[in-house]
Amino acid sequence: MHNGALVAPCTRDKIFAMGRKFFGTDGIRGRTNAGVMTAATAMKVGQAAGTYFQRGDHRHRVVIGKDTRLSGYMLENAMTAGFTSVGMDVVLLGPLPTPAVAMLTREMRADVGVMISASHNPFEDNGIKLFGPDGFKLSDEDELAIEALLEEELGLAPAGEVGRARRIEDARGRYIHAVKASLPHNLRLDGLRIVVDCANGAAYTVAPSALWELGAEVIAIGVEPNGKNINLGVGSTHLDAIKAKVREVRADIGIALDGDADRLIVVDEKGQTVDGDQIMALIGSQMAARGSLTGGGVVATVMSNLGLERFLKSKGLDLVRTAVGDRHVLEKMREGGYNVGGEQSGHMILTDHATTGDGTIAALQVLAALVSSGKPASQTLHLFDPVPQLLKNVRFAGGKPLEADSVKDAIAQAEARLAGRGRLVIRPSGTEPVIRVMAEADDAEEVAEVVDAICDAVRKAAA
């Protein structure tokens, strides 16, 4: 168990905090037609990435998917123009989850994959995520190399070598087949009534179809995208709608995805939330019992609850923590040979089945456990009692309040108070002038006092 820990920004966050113009901690993201998220930038990214990934003497190919945002049309066309202008062929997948794009990049032997999405953000935002030919997100080195090319005048292909673009119609079917293959062949979902909330996003057809084809009775919500309603009052970050529907139709379970379907939050038959920590506890412990868990534990971030750590320890398993972000989780998984990782927020990475977070595949592992148990979701999915945890954000105008002696003293006092009984995490946001203060321990009142004391010290130091 950890007592207290001040978590500084990771090396990657420091790199991008030093003035990267385009790439952030997870691709390029911003408000549509403002800053970097314009058609002109998207075309330039296509040219830069296309130039960078043209290696070898084969005909080069990129696959491009998107979620359901209105701006997806604009960015998709702009990136197509960029890639084809430097001689790369384009395969357009249409609206598909992020993990589907990663899978098809690898399966179609593409040189690079692109997902146009801002994940759980509102429709006004959009983003560009890039995948290498292995289906994994690009390394820091790859992104920095493309970033450098964005500032250069790139050579265009001769007229006879301009790339071609085509749209394939069976991309959804290919992904559905891969998703279904992740469920043990001896299991079906017959008899289960499932509410699935697709956030009016990228999984609005594939997730309900996969569940139905496996025998479930499916009640789908958040499956009427209009370009502007992605994540609007639905999905894994807005659970009121699915909780109400689960109770209304007396469903056995609810499955909530986010806009690009790489996150999963579950709702049991009573309408209670099952977050990423509980899902990792379930999947990790069941795989360990079957002898299929690798690495001897689960990888999660510093934000995962102490209750998860204690539960895994009781099973003889480790909880390996990383900085916040599914990218950091995946890096640690690949480094240590782990096949289960994720975040409390719902990113679930199961590398036996996918190269990135996949909410639908994770949902099937949960459903497999539910079918095998023969018990209600409320008895199957809540494996530990979360330790009281409190997170507060302190906004500041400027300076470096964490370097103030008064703040260091407040942190030291909090660490001493929680020593051996809880955890403390203080981290600056990588995208805005905010200090995030989190503490957890068995005594909720003590947690609140510790967090408030540090927040007050930060505010005074920043004044």
The reply to whether 201 and 101 lie within a common domain is: no
Residue 18, pLDDT score: 40
Determine, yes or no, domain membership for 364. yes
Residue 31, pLDDT score: 95
The reply to whether 351 and 212 lie within a common domain is: yes
The reply to whether 356 and 402 lie within a common domain is: no
Residue 287's domain spans which residues? 174-380
* Domains contained in the chain, number: 3
Mean pLDDT of each 10-residue bin along the chain, 463 residues long: 41 44 84 94 97 93 98 98 98 98 97 96 96 93 93 94 96 97 92 97 98 98 98 97 98 98 97 98 97 98 95 98 92 97 96 96 97 96 96 89 93 93 88 89 96 95 85
* 372 classed as catalytic: no
Determine, yes or no, domain membership for 4. no
Read off the CATH number of the domain in which 451 is found. 3.30.310.50
The reply to whether 342 and 243 lie within a common domain is: yes
Distance (Å, rounded) from C-alpha 63 to C-alpha 171? Answer: 11
Domain boundary among 169, 191, 209: 169
Determine, yes or no, domain membership for 3. no
Residue 455, pLDDT score: 95
Determine, yes or no, domain membership for 232. yes
The reply to whether 191 and 119 lie within a common domain is: no
Determine, yes or no, domain membership for 409. yes
The reply to whether 318 and 395 lie within a common domain is: no
The tokens describing 213, both together, are: 């084809």
Q: Is 140 exposed, middle or buried (0-12, 13-18, 19+ CB in 10 A)?
A: middle
The reply to whether 376 and 398 lie within a common domain is: no
The reply to whether 139 and 200 lie within a common domain is: no
Residue 431, pLDDT score: 66
Determine, yes or no, domain membership for 85. yes
* 3-class SS string, the chain: CCCCEECCCCHHHHHHHCCCCCCECCEEEEECCCCCCCHHHHHHHHHHHHHHCCCCCCCCEEEEEECCCCHHHHHHHHHHHHHHHCCCEEEEEEECCHHHHHHHHHHCCCCEEEEECCCCCCCCEEEEEEECCCCCECCHHHHHHHHHHCCCCCCCCCHHHCCCEEECCCHHHHHHHHHHHCCCCCCCCCCCEEEEECCCCCCCCHHHHHHHHCCCEEEEECCCCCCCCCCCCCCCCCCHHHHHHHHHHCCCEEEEECCCCCEEEEEECCCCEECHHHHHHHHHHHHHHHCCCCCCEEEEECCCCHHHHHHHHHCCCEEEEECCCHHHHHHHHHHHCCCEEECCCCEEEECCCCCCCCHHHHHHHHHHHHHHHCCCHHHHCCCCCCCCEEEEEEECCCCCHHHCHHHHHHHHHHHHHHCCCEEEEEEECCCCCEEEEEEEECCHHHHHHHHHHHHHHHHHHHC
The reply to whether 115 and 150 lie within a common domain is: yes
Determine, yes or no, domain membership for 13. no
Read off the CATH number of the domain in which 72 is found. 3.40.120.10
pTM of the model: 0.91
The reply to whether 376 and 407 lie within a common domain is: no
Domain boundary among 117, 136, 169: 169
Query: For the packed helices 359-373 and 206-213, what is the interaxial angle rounded to 10 degrees?
Result: 30
The reply to whether 180 and 298 lie within a common domain is: yes
Residue 389, pLDDT score: 95
Determine phi and psi for 60, rounding to 5 degrees: -90, 145
Residue 398, pLDDT score: 77
The reply to whether 304 and 415 lie within a common domain is: no
Domain boundary among 363, 380, 397: 380
Determine, yes or no, domain membership for 9. no
Distance (Å, rounded) from C-alpha 130 to C-alpha 175? Answer: 18
Question: Catalytic residue among 71, 85, 119, 285, which?
Answer: 119
